[in-house]
Amino acid sequence: MRILLATHNPHKADELRSILGTLQSVTILTLDDLPSRPVEPVEDGATLEANAYIKAAEIFAATGIPTIADDTGLEVKALAGAPGVYSARYAGEGVTYADNCRKLIAELEHVRADDRSALFRTVICYTDGDRTLLAEGSVRGTILPKPRGAGGFGYDPLFQPEGTSRTFAEMDPAEKNAMSHRGRALAAMHEMLAPYFDERQ
């Protein structure tokens, strides 16, 4: 059995593989493993759920391989939930992680430390033509005024989860995966998929 992760992002692929890789008799592929790359869907949904489904459904239709896609949003309370569904392109199209972080720092420049609460959410969608499954994971934390740590990606250097003194970027991958929004969503999806793939062996 094969599952296709609808991503070219090596950091995201590593996180997805680290948890889904324990599924029995399943080979985990990414878009970079395909001989010809399908056209990337336009993620124009109004919600994380919609974007995850759009990506999974269109990539499955193009490849015929059971597909998993995700969408992640950082929802900052002081910014009325922004950047939310626009998190990956907060500073514009084709920007870097650093560009997005710089914009977030600037937007929160005059916000007090106790008003910097945020929620990181990931929604994962699996589809194989017969069934479509959705799983969500979230974690609360605080947005720091300056980045800390060299690991992770995206907003990880600015996000300090509740109950910790470190950002996601200061944690090793296993520690981050155990508590992160994506890790929680993947764990929930793993529970849903494991019996299904066991049946198909």
The DSSP secondary structure of 60-116, one letter per residue, reads HHHH-S-EEEEEEEEEEGGGTT-EETTGGGTT-TT--HHHHHHHHHHHTTTS-GGG-
Angle CA(163)–CA(164)–CA(165) in degrees, nearest 5? 135
pTM above 0.85, yes or no: yes
* Average pLDDT of the segment spanning 179-188: 91
70 tagged catalytic: no
pLDDT at 39: 79
Which of helix, strand or coil describes residue 172? Answer: coil
Minimal CA–CA distance to 154: which of 4, 7, 5, 31? 7
- The structural domains of the chain, ordered by start, are 2-199 (3.90.950.10)
Predicted local distance difference test score (pLDDT) of residue 110: 94
The span from the CA of 169 to the CA of 176, in Å, is: 8
Set 14, 32, 44, 71: catalytic member: 71
Identify the pLDDT of residue 27.
84
Q: How far apart are CA 168 and CA 103, in angstroms?
A: 19
Per residue in 71-121, pLDDT (tens digit) is 999 999 999 999 999 999 999 998 999 999 999 999 999 999 889 999 999
pLDDT digits (tens, 9 = 90+) for 21-73: 777 677 888 898 898 878 788 888 999 999 999 999 999 999 999 999 999 99
pLDDT value at residue 91:
95
The length of the chain is: 201
**Burial (CB count <10 Å: 0-12, 13-18, 19+), residue 179:** middle
- Residue 122 CA to residue 182 CA, distance in Å, equals 5
Contact indicator for 49, 123 with CB cutoff of 8 Å: yes
